Every structure is written in structure tokens, then in C-alpha cells.
Amino acid sequence: MNEPKSPSSPGTDFIRQVVKADVASARYGGRVITRFPPEPNGYLHVGHAMGICLNFGIAKEFGGCCHLRYDDTNPDTERKEYVEAIQEDIRWLGFDWGQHLYFASDYFERMYECGEVLIKKGLAYVDSQATEVIREGRGTVTESGVPSPYRNRSSEENLDLFRGMRAGEFGDGEHVLRGKIDMASPNMLMRDPVFYRIRHASHYRRGDDWCIYPLYDYAHCLEDAFEGVTHSICTLEFDNNRELYNWVLENVGFEEPRPHQYEWAGLDLENAVLSKRKIAPLVEGGFVSGWDDPRLATLAAYRRRGIPPEAIRLLSEIVGVSKTGAQTEATKLDFAIRRILNQSAPRVMAVLDPIRVVIANYPKGKTEEFEAPYYPHDVPLEGSRTVPFSHELWIERADFLEHPPKGFRRLMPGGEVRLRYAYVIRCDEVIKDDAGRILEVRCTYDPDTRGGSTSDGRKVKGTIQWVSVPHGVAAEARLFDHLFFREVGEDQDSGAIGDCLNPDSLTVISDMKIEPSILTDPENTRYQFERTGYFWRDPIDGCGDQLVFNRIVSLKDAWAKRDTKPSPNKVKAKRPTQAYSRTNPEASKQPRIPSGGEQDAEALARMLRYTGELGIGAEQAEILAQSLEWSSYFESALTVYPDAAALATWIANDLRGLLAGRSPADLPFTGESIGELASLVEDGGVSRRAAKDVLARLIIEGGDPKDLVDSMGLRKVTDTHELSSVVKSVIDQWEEKAAEYRAGKSGLLGFFVGEVMKKTGGAADPEAAKSLLQDRLDN
RNA sequence: UGGCCCGUCGUCUAAUGGCAGGACACCGGUCUUUGGAACCGGCGGUGGUGGUUCGAAUCCACCCGGGCCAACCA
């Protein structure tokens, strides 16, 4: 009962679709191997947790495995302490890497050998320029780089130098190994990237075995390949690195099926500091108590705060997987935590900010006990404890108001409130000190309401929690809020960090009261303090006799929210629209005329011919004319079928859309085929819609369009009789939809056409089907 | 201003040429010995302009907006 609702379409994100397709096509023999590759230079945070859920989740769902591999290629920053902490976090989250624990540093020898392979192929060289010179030589995003003077060293010399680098013959920074790729590449990463650097430093695992260390782009893809990883999933910012990932693997000699990289957006959580680079100064600067300070978004902090791992996994489901760089609202995390805890946390009574209530008509010194269930009626768990009641009680200061606003349902002078599981009391008198601060509230109880229900049927709207003064236990509570009230910039020093800090991020309540039953519970019990929030004992400071409770998350509070309600006539803030920003609407229609150069002159001539003589629109003409590849493809289609405008659409719009960036040279069919296809459509033998299906097939396996039309059963069905019967059966099948359509939901017509198309395997003439459908539906 | 990636309710995410759907948030209601939970209902979206198509969130073009890339970090 009350299973957490699944988010929409679970498990159908674009990465899982790729994996699913690869399993179906047996691309890797059905194997699925993912990996989670942390660098042991800090603690994991919720962002990493999403990556862990993704990688381990996919492996589990597809019967594969997920490797835990430390990407420990930088001796300066990595420590054993972190590798242990990371493992603890992953286990806590509920994932298991089994035997598959790996370290990049174990591959140093193999990686080195790959370096020699590249050198021998003439694809890598030792550069001896200074760091700054290399940097400058790389150019900028708008200017290409200049080749290093060492770029053309012989393989022998490179090999000799590289071996010398390894042997420790050189100092830090004297040489590097670079890939010999393309100094003019628009992708900066391809401008002869550095593969190895000299660093005389002790590595936390390899000690002084090595004095050269591989860099990420070189190392990471090799690690994946060594381990037989199939799907290497990383975040969006590595998009540019994919080209290099592929280059290294292909040139070192890893053939298909080899690992491939896929990028997703990762998690950006509102109010959470999600970068090790930004967390470290908070820890080191003493702004927080450590990597596990509960205000942080590290997994260690979440664990300490008391967030259950199930909630993190639920968050991962809720947030989903996409390539949209987006920020997730903090309320989604809160929701996930409450969703889990509501179903599992025993309820107890605690008072965070106590005021004293004296029950005047309850005998001093008398105590009675109430049996109180741990769980509310809608949580299917059993259990109860007894709570002691007496002459003096603590209640929450906020639960008594001398001058309450309208709608206040708690205690007020002359009013009644129910003490949960106990009695209904009425407030008779308020005792204040000289400063007007309330010292105690004097009440009388109604003995006929034992257990909380009235015998005369009168309604008591409010119910509040309470703690008996002589029995209550004192404790400390810690409430957490987000650490910053303002975004901290990228390179800010600790002074600037201090300026952004939320002074109320930690509230310590030193004198809360709680019912004594908790004294006999396991220390790691997560409670709901009724009407207040979810709490558990701080695992560090709340052990043994120390009663220190962390608030994991508050309860939703509909009453408190009433003040912050946005006014109904508030103008809705809209994303600024760009509707008016274009100054010349015709501008986009003007083809850009290529300028200068012999090739451009030819392209221009083609362009003019296409728009003039052939009557093609400027947009498509530009696409087709610009490259020789496309223009010759187009013109060969033209030899088969003379309707240039139709062909231009087929090629410029449909074909290129299906090709997703690939070139016509890769196609298993020629321009003539597409011309033939277009003529089949013109003849009426195939609908345009069916022809597009044929095109898609053509791209995959080539073939003769006419044969494909037949073998796919796509010869157009125009026969009115045949079509009518399909139309009738579709309408009969979807009676309700038909009624909706008749009631005015005209958008449903497309749905019906789609159904007819489905039923006929795509062969129906959609236009004919549409008019038949309309006729039938309209009467 | 070079290349690449991304724009769907306030937020996150489905729809893979055929009904724009779900979740969170918000609002209202029912119920309630937690102003919790649950249940019911409501609000609300394809960045813009053209084009292709019987039919476009989806294909094409341009524009606008956001992000990433010039470490011997990962």
C-alpha cells in the first residue's frame, strides 16, 4: 500500500534506449558493462550519487555489471582516505561492485605501452616546449594553433625521449608526450593534446614507481577499453572530449566493438554546493565542521543528517536522465525524503521550544500512562509505547497564541485543544513576566475526554503534542538550512565565501523536551517528531548519553505557508521572449552568397542555377549547392526524376534529417535511388509517408526502392472500398475517441489517421483515409 | 565572435511524424486525534519566424536564449 509512485516512463531515458538497442542487436554480444570512475581526491556528493544510480542501475537492469574504478592518475591530489570514504558511500547508497574494483594506477604499464604504439605510428611526439609556450601555441577558440617545433621529431627520437621520461632522466615539465592530431581543429582538445607529463611525486598507491603520469583524455578511454566497458557514461561537459576519446581508442588499435562515451546532464540541485572544488575551501576554511557537516550535499553529510539512502535513489528516479542542463528544485529532494520516512519512521512527541502548561484540576503528583501507537492509521506498521501524563506539561510555544489570527486551531485563552492521545484542555489564564513574556499557561482538563475523544460530541479541531514535565527528557536539536543565501562565484577567496554564508544555516536548540520512550530505542532510529519533522540522533555527537537530534527534514506545514502565499494578482514572471528581437524577418530567407575562392565561385554558380532555372527555394538551394558532395548527389537524382523542387525537399529536409550529420558518401544507395523513390511517389504508387519509411530502410541496408516498396508491403492503398472498411473498424474500435472528436476535439483526427496507417502497415493513402474518416466521423 | 551541446507547464521529465502526458511545486476541496499522510479536483507548457507534410514538440532553415571548450586537473 502506498507504494511510491513511479515517475513517468521509468527506464526509457535516452541512455537506456541506447543500451537496450545495443543489447537487442548484440553489438557487444549482449554484454553491458558500465563504470563509476571517481577520482579519490574528495568526498562524493549527491551529484555523484545520481551517476552511481545511473551506472549501477543500468548494469543491474540489463544483467550486466558496473565497475568501481578509481581514476587515480594525479599523484598530487589523491589519497587513500578518499578511496575508503567513497566505497563506504557507494555501499551506503545500496550498490555493490562485487569483484569489480579497479584502479587506473594499476594500468600504468599498459598505458605506457599504448604510448609507444602511438609514437611508432607517428601519432604522438615528445614536445620539449615550456608549459606556457605549449599553452600559447594552442591558439584560441577563434584562431588555430601553431605547430610545435618538435612536432616532426622522428619516431626513434620520440621513443628514446619517452623512455628517458619514464626512466626519470628529466625534471618536471621538461618534456611531455603529445598526440599528433590537428593544431587547427575547431575542437581545442584535438590540438595535439598532452598525454603524459613528468611529475616526480609519490603516488598514494604506486609510490615512486612512476615519474610520468597520463592525463585524463588519454587515460580514461584506455581504462574503459582495458576493462571491456561497453557504455561509458559521463556528464555533459565531456561532450567535447568524446572526439578525442574515440581518436585515442581507434589509433591505439581498439576495434569495434569498443567502448563508447555517452553524456548526460547530471544533477544540479538548488541550494547545494556540488563541486569538490567549492566544497574543499568550506571544509578547510572552517566554515563547516567537516566533509560530513550535515549542511553540505556530500553523501557523508546526508548520511550523518539522517537522509535514508532510499530517498536518494528515489530522487534519482524523480529527476530522470536527459541532456538538458537544468537545475532541480530542492523541494524534490524533500519530497523524496518525506515519501520514504513517512512510511517507516515511528512517531514520538517532542517539544522544541517549550512553554509550561499547568493543569489546575489534575492532581499534583499523579501520573497516568497512555498507550500511543507509533504509526498513524494509514501506515501499515504495528507498535506502540506508553507516554506518561502529569500535572505539568510542556507544549510548543507556537501552539499557544494569546491573540490568534483567524483560523488558528491550537490553544488560545478560553479555547480548547486536544493533547494528542490524552485529554482535551481549556486555557484559563496566561502568566507572564514583567517583560510580557509568557511563563506558563494555566488550563483545566476535561476528564471525560480521556484518550482524546469527547463524549458529548463537541468538536475540538486542534491537536497538539506535549511532554510531561517530570518525565520529559532534555535534548539538543540541530536544524539545518541551506549554507548560502547567495551564489558563491567561481574563484572567490574565503573572505568572499563568508559574505555569502547564510547565518541561519545551523540552528542549535539546546533545551528541547522529548518523551522518555526514546531512551530505550536503538540509537539509529529515525523518528517523526509529531507535527515537527523527521529527526534522528547525530551519529557523531548524539551517541550514548548525548541526546542530540538532527532534523532530517521538516514536515510540510500548510499553516505556516499561509503568510508567504503569493498574492493572487501578482504578475506572472515570464521568460523573456525573443519574439521582437529580429529586426529583419526577411533576412533569414536570404541565402548567404559564398565569397571568394574558386570553389566558392562554383558553388555560387550552382546556387544561381538551382534557384533560377530549377526553381528551388533559397534555403534548400543553399544547402545543396554549398558542398560538392550534396550537389552531385542531388544532380544524379535529377537524372532519374526531373522535379527539382520535390527532390530538393527529399534530400535537403528528409534525407539529411534521417542522416543526423553523416555525409551522403556513407550511404549504401545513390542519388538515383532517391530520384526513383520520388518518382514512385509522384506516380501514386506510394504515399509520401510510406516513401519516408522506405528511405529510412534504404539508409540502413540500401537496395532498390521499388523492390523495397513491395517487400515492405507499402504499395499505396487507395481503393475506397478497402479503405472504408479499415476506417470503419478504427472508428468502431475507438468509440470514445470518436465521441470526443464529435464533441469538438478536432486534434483527434490525426490520431485516427495514425490508427488507419498502423492497421494498413503504413500503406494507406493518408489523404484518402483522412477524408473518409472525416465523412464518417461527421455524421 | 570558431566548434560542439541543449531549449516542452513555475521545476524535472514523457511523447522517437499521428490524443502534448506524468511527477514535484502551487491553488481549492474531502478526510483526519499530526495544519502530516491519503484521496479528489484545478492551474499551467512545446523560445520565435518561416518551410516541408494529409498531419510537426519531433524533419529543414534562420533567429533568440542557455551551457561547454583555449590545465602538464578530472
Q: Which nucleotide is nearest to A38 (CA to C1')?
A: B74
Place of cell 502548561: A357
Place of cell 503569493: A566
Specify the pLDDT at position A10.
56
Q: Is the CB of A601 under 7 A from strand B?
A: no
d(Cα A775, Cα A664) in Å, to the nearest integer?
43
Specify the pLDDT at position A601.
85
d(Cα A590, Cα A759) in Å, to the nearest integer?
43
Specify the pLDDT at position A578.
32
Q: Are A756 and A734 in contact (CB under 8 A)?
A: no
Model pLDDT for residues A295-346, shown as the tens digit of each residue: 999 999 999 999 999 999 999 999 999 999 999 999 999 999 999 999 999 9
Q: Which nucleotide is nearest to A573 (CA to C1')?
A: B10
Kindly report which amino acid residue has its CA closest to the C1' atom of nucleotide B7.
A324
pLDDT above 70 (res A575): no
How many CB atoms are closer than 10 A to CB A210? 23
Model pLDDT for residues A633-674, shown as the tens digit of each residue: 999 999 999 999 999 999 999 999 999 888 888 899 999 999
Q: Is the CB of A197 under 7 A from strand B?
A: yes
Q: What is the DSSP letter of A155?
A: H
How many CB atoms are closer than 10 A to CB A439? 10
Nearest to A160 by CA among A151, A172, A169: A169
Nearest to A195 by CA among A92, A95, A113, A272: A113
d(Cα A473, Cα A516) in Å, to the nearest integer?
6
E strand residue ranges, A504-593: 506-514, 527-529, 533-537, 548-554
d(Cα A216, Cα A196) in Å, to the nearest integer?
10
C-alpha cell belonging to residue A50 = 545520481
Specify the pLDDT at position A592.
53
Model pLDDT for residues A741-752, shown as the tens digit of each residue: 888 888 899 999
Kindly report which amino acid residue has its CA closest to the C1' atom of nucleotide B17.
A689
Interatomic distance A574 CA / B44 C1' (Å): 12
Q: What is the DSSP letter of A343?
A: T
Give the H/E segment covering residue A560. helix A558-561
Interatomic distance A325 CA / B4 C1' (Å): 15
At position A632, the amino acid (one-letter code) is S
Interatomic distance A37 CA / B6 C1' (Å): 25
Q: Which bases on strand B have an atom closer than 7 Å to a protein beta carbon? A: 1-8, 10-27, 33-39, 47-56, 59-74
d(Cα A94, Cα A75) in Å, to the nearest integer?
30
Q: From residues 706-735 of A, which are strand B contacts by CB within 7 A? A: none
Q: Is the CB of A221 under 7 A from strand B?
A: no
Q: Which nucleotide is nearest to A574 (CA to C1')?
A: B10
Nearest to A67 by CA among A51, A55, A85: A55
Task: Output phi, psi for A428, to 5 deg.
Answer: -105, -30
Specify the pLDDT at position A597.
62
d(Cα A440, Cα A98) in Å, to the nearest integer?
60
Q: Is the CB of A584 under 7 A from strand B?
A: no
Interatomic distance A683 CA / B73 C1' (Å): 62
Specify the pLDDT at position A457.
83
Q: Are A50 and A75 in contact (CB under 8 A)?
A: no
Q: Which nucleotide is nearest to A769 (CA to C1')?
A: B54
H helices of A534-597, in order, are 558-561
pLDDT above 60 (res A368): yes
Using DSSP's 3-state secondary structure scheme, residue A107 falls into: helix
Helix axes A108-120, A242-252, angle to 10 degrees: 80
d(Cα A424, Cα A445) in Å, to the nearest integer?
6
Q: Which nucleotide is nearest to A587 (CA to C1')?
A: B62
Q: Is the CB of A489 under 7 A from strand B?
A: no
Residue A267 confidence class, pLDDT cut points 50, 70, 90: very high
What's the average model confidence in pLDDT over A278-286?
92
Specify the pLDDT at position A492.
55
Model pLDDT for residues A448-504, shown as the tens digit of each residue: 999 999 888 889 999 999 999 999 999 999 999 999 887 666 555 566 777 888 999
Interatomic distance A573 CA / B27 C1' (Å): 17
A229, burial (CB in 10 Å: exposed 0-12, middle 13-18, buried 19+): buried
Contact partners, residue A736, CB within 8 Å, separation at least 6: none
Q: Which nucleotide is nearest to A453 (CA to C1')?
A: B33
Q: Is the CB of A656 under 7 A from strand B?
A: yes
Residue A358 confidence class, pLDDT cut points 50, 70, 90: very high
Using DSSP's 3-state secondary structure scheme, residue A521 falls into: coil
Q: Which nucleotide is nearest to A688 (CA to C1')?
A: B53
Specify the pLDDT at position A334.
98
H helices of A461-538, in order, are 494-500
pLDDT above 80 (res A572): no
Kindly report which amino acid residue has its CA closest to the C1' atom of nucleotide B48.
A579
Model pLDDT for residues A694-732, shown as the tens digit of each residue: 999 999 999 999 999 999 999 998 888 999 999 999 999
Specify the pLDDT at position A598.
67
Q: Which nucleotide is nearest to A37 (CA to C1')?
A: B74
Q: If you write DSSP's letter for every residue of A314-376 in order, what string do you get?
A: HHHHHH---S---EEPHHHHHHHHHHHHHTTPPEE-EESSEEEEEETTSPTT--EEEEEESS-
Model pLDDT for residues A141-162, shown as the tens digit of each residue: 999 999 999 999 999 999 999 9
Helix axes A598-611, A618-626, angle to 10 degrees: 150
Interatomic distance A376 CA / B40 C1' (Å): 21
d(Cα A721, Cα A713) in Å, to the nearest integer?
18
Place of cell 531512551: A519
Using DSSP's 3-state secondary structure scheme, residue A493 falls into: coil
pLDDT above 50 (res A181): yes
What's the average model confidence in pLDDT over A95-122?
98
pLDDT above 90 (res A736): no
- As a whole-number percent, the residues of chain A with pLDDT over 90 amount to 84
Q: Is the CB of A339 under 7 A from strand B?
A: yes
Q: Is the CB of A39 under 7 A from strand B?
A: yes
pLDDT above 70 (res A11): no
